[in-house]
Structure 1
């Protein structure tokens, strides 16, 4: 048996063909992509489909244990993409009928050919715990039946992700194509013909893991900024090159190599105001260098002030005789958002208006509110970039505290969306969104004075998710519908600075307060939890009252009403 490592770029038509028979080994982590990642993948694909008529779309690489000439392929890296692409293809296939449906179904299931020794079977087998669920609903194209299931009744988080992502894909297809079968077919043809994956294969498990390690390691490679530096400094007059080289290298020292590269991606966004579709080097040349024209101006009037603004925003080090504490507090909350899409807007504003402390505070508070809404409501990267682009365009016009940038304000629909999310089942959000919201609410209760370490944060239910028959909880919450209605709501959740205690989760209310929520000293680091410690009872009535109080605080602080 050869130990050869082979790699080739294949269209999805080949990836999902009889040449590959994928299985996810049991030691792999569960399917973990949420609706955010699935939605971003769809948005990226759809956006490329609309705007690039001939180019091919690269989906990344997968690493397989696979013998040459044999279809069986054990997936070492790439199961999240393969699973999500299968869900997308299944959602698309359900929109078709007749021969067209059969055609696309062949990318999901091997139809079998007795003459070639091929038996009918799914092209992708998930790990054993989720294999039947995925085959019975996704690969059997019973998506509507799966979506109708109560997520709480599914076996695990992986199955809930599969169900939710199928729902997302169907919804996106309906929104984008409105049952236009011809356009749906064109989109399907784009997926299987012009979307490519690199499959790296080796028959040895040891070799496959070595390839995976190499692909995911990070060395000190040549960065796009190094090449840009060569181009820019090289075009400056010889007698000034040392001066501008020193400026450039000082900025790189202050930010670090990776931070400096991030600055350039944000500068590209400030100029382009849309998602990057090509490599940073190519886009920075086209969008920034060609527009600015002068290399000296590029360094002194663009790269230098934007880098300084980046450092202020990232390090929360705004300096002023007034409002500095409040400005840096807003920046700290912005930096808790799990993406940096807000940074170009902050950089542009700080580079232009840092001297007006009153206006800086107004703008960054509005920006933090906007970023919070986009984060909590789960907007994908394309929607976020489009929204921040509106702010960036507005920042190009004349503005001041007298005539502020209104594009950073929330729209009525954004306020409504946020209110709907806040009143829904908060606990079912992704942990980063959920934790951000609960910590931000806690900070509002103490007027922003607290500091938090999210690395030791757990979110716990007061009313437990499982209520034992005959318990005090069963007596105070006799209606099962009341329990399911409130168990994951904001009012029933508390933050703790300790590891989850499985035994304590089902304690009765009084014991839970003293033995679990209160900690060793009987007090809590969080205002939300302290409120619960002071509550004499925990009933449907008291929780409903608390819910309204908490939502009112968020309405007031984020100006959602």
Structure 2
């Protein structure tokens, strides 16, 4: 038996497919040396050790009928066939780095020995009769198709004959009207992609409005074209490389006549995490459960998930992790935290929880509902109650902070009143993780544990019990050094954006109290760029003794929170590094009461909102170390009121 010839694999069951693929992958994918001379040897090995192995369990022994074939193909032979990438498959996602890596590998193999075959791996196809439907390998094959288009373009520019390349790109056929047309050997059936490939092949410009996948197709073409022109400035050298590319690069094409077999092989090849996204593996698992006639409907639901995540530039894997931890029991994982590299294994072992096998549409619908909630919480609008707290969290914890989204997904059963309150609670929880420097792994472990209870909360009463019995005790443990942590708080110990948020929240709270309110609606006024952090004791100070400090004390206290206040930049430009007595006059012009009242509180009547506010504040006629410490203490008391868990 010659391995390069088409052979049928006498295997039927999933176990046989697994065993066969293991042999193909482990024995063939690493035989890059002497590939051609070893074809017959490895073919014989596979036949003897797999197809006629007497020690195999009965369920894995060969069956009389067959469903699977394999072919060893060069690029030259592979592109004499027609391939389609159906719209339910993943769109073209390769970026410049993946394209460049493939090109670099090809060039390295060519420079090492242009007469030695170079193995590219396997592709999995479903043979529909007239064409091969790509199940695995579409990213590579699409890139090679674009590579052929780039070679054709360069050949044309140099007046070279292109017929050989063109015969690999398309072949003439007759349409329903009897007209002869060119049918591309690779057809992408997802949105806009087929049109983009045609434009690329014809050397036309990139359209103004195309999908993200279309952008990547054009990017790949430019990357390839630039690479070829840089590496082969002489057309004669490029032509030699093309000979190697077409005839010495090879891969195994696995062909099935049953779409379920193709999907199973895809899963088998990729389940060990060889660079594929568990989101794609999950999609494959779900599609395997439905009849082919339902693919289009299921694919529409799946695309609504992926496109929603794309719109907010969210990593699908992060959503998938949080979706699983929020909705299902992950206590079998260490600390209840599901790692990205364990997602596929967990899903494979937990159909009993997820029911994606017996109810795939319902499972995908649940994912879609969670994505909708995820997007709303990631990009909160002004309409939903409590969203101001969701807007505050990235201002406090940073734009990349997402851990709280896990709990928000788990809270999907809460009624609107409870959910609004839960958003406020989460801001407070995140605040204490920041102030008390709780490690991310501890926070994630805690949130994952909380998800189990949060899933069952519906009413405010349920939530209050959870806060009292679970959240408050946990946060109190975190807060053992909270006061001392806060009293050291400042620009020396925390990022400026966080300090500005804390100042903004306290300032807004005081302004609200002054108006007789107890809640802060929006912090936009306090965090915008027109509002600056003012150092009351100026950063540039020639006479530090004026503030009762030596050089060392000055370096510590200058950036303490107690020495900072928010001030409109129009006022700040006027005072610069003036002394406190002069600055105080300008502070009184500020619209922020906590700033305007630094040197003097305003009293109006008795038992008024402003007087009740004044009872929480202090003022200072002189500014020194003691004043800074007292003001920091005042901020601490206010912070405990603002972020109190109740």
The TM-score with structure 1 as length reference comes to 0.50
Say which structure, 1 or 2, has more relative contact order (CA 8 Å, 6+ apart): 1
Q: TM-score, normalised by structure 2?
A: 0.44
Question: Which protein has the larger Cα radius of gyration, Structure 1 or Structure 2?
Answer: 2
